[in-house]
């Protein structure tokens, strides 16, 4: 299932996210998922703080997650309709594997919070790259559930936040490339300030 790694740049140049709702099996095995997480942890991490952690939601816990999301909607969104609850249940069952990435800041008085947030984001990107290299598709989603206080409490300690829900599987339909910025439009060359 591993893609040809003889050309890492070609591999990196083909990564794209897939829609979690379109994913089918096979998904990563437990061993493959562990490898994805090992690779994800090889991220820049100033101070060796690892200000992030992984919460794996097992297949047999997906209905529990659906119940949690439904309860969160009922508790925190009085305007939530039956359609919102249905969409939340579908969200809980997407993909063949689900990892919740939690931002777990470390207050050590030395490493700025911003650098810790960047490290957590790099972990997320490494997960997507590792899954892609193994022949799977990944999707990094947030949405209301990542910010809801009831959902957050179920996954996080008080100072932590959900960085995203990471779904992995095989594409159920061909992936469509999305528009990417033309590199010259997002690059500028630094000019030293004039005295």
Residue 26: inside a domain: yes
Q: Which residues lie below 8 Å from residue 172, measured CB to CB, with a gap of 6+?
A: 22, 23, 24
Domain that holds residue 148: 17-173
Q: How far is CA 53 from the centre of its chain?
A: 12
Whole-angstrom distance, CA of residue 38 vs CA of residue 23: 23
Whole-angstrom distance, CA of residue 172 vs CA of residue 170: 6
Residue 108: inside a domain: yes
User: Model confidence over 39-50: pLDDT tens digits?
Assistant: 999 999 999 999
User: What integer is the mean pLDDT of 49-69?
Assistant: 97
pLDDT of 67 higher than 70: yes
Whole-angstrom distance, CA of residue 7 vs CA of residue 125: 19
Kindly write down the DSSP assignment for every residue of 134-194, as one continuous string. Answer: TT-EEEEE-SHHHH-HHHHHHH--TT-EEEEEEEEEEESS---PPP---GGGG-----PPP
User: What integer is the mean pLDDT of 177-193?
Assistant: 91
Three-class secondary structure of residue 84 per DSSP: helix
User: Model confidence over 94-137: pLDDT tens digits?
Assistant: 999 999 999 999 998 899 999 999 999 999 999 999 999 999 99
Residue 36: inside a domain: yes
Residue 129: inside a domain: yes
pLDDT of amino acid 6: 62
Residue 190: inside a domain: no
Joined tokens for residue 173: 């339909």
Residue 119: inside a domain: yes
Give the position of tokens 């559930």: 145
CATH of the domain at 51: 3.40.109.10
Counting the structural domains of the chain, the total is 1
Residue 11: inside a domain: no
């Amino acid at each position: 299932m591993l893609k040809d790694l003889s050309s890492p740049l070609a591999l990196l140049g083909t990564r794209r996210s897939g829609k979690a709702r379109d994913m089918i099996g096979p998904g990563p095995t437990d061993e493959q998922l562990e490898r994805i997480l090992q690779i994800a942890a090889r991220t820049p991490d100033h101070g060796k703080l690892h200000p992030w952690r992984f919460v794996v939601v097992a297949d047999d816990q997906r209905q529990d997650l659906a119940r949690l999301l439904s309860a969160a909607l009922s508790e925190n969104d009085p305007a939530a309709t039956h359609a919102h609850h249905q969409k939340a249940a579908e969200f809980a069952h997407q993909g063949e594997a689900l990892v919740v990435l939690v931002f777990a800041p470390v207050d050590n008085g030395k490493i700025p919070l911003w650098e810790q947030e960047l490290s957590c984001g790099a972990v997320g990107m490494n997960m997507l790259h590792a899954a892609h290299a193994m022949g799977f598709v990944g999707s990094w989603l947030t949405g209301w559930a990542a910010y809801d206080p009831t959902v957050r409490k179920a996954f996080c300690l008080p100072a932590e936040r959900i960085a995203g829900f990471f779904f992995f599987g095989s594409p159920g339909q061909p992936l469509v490339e999305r528009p990417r910025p033309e590199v010259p439009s997002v690059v500028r060359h630094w000019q030293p300030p004039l005295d």
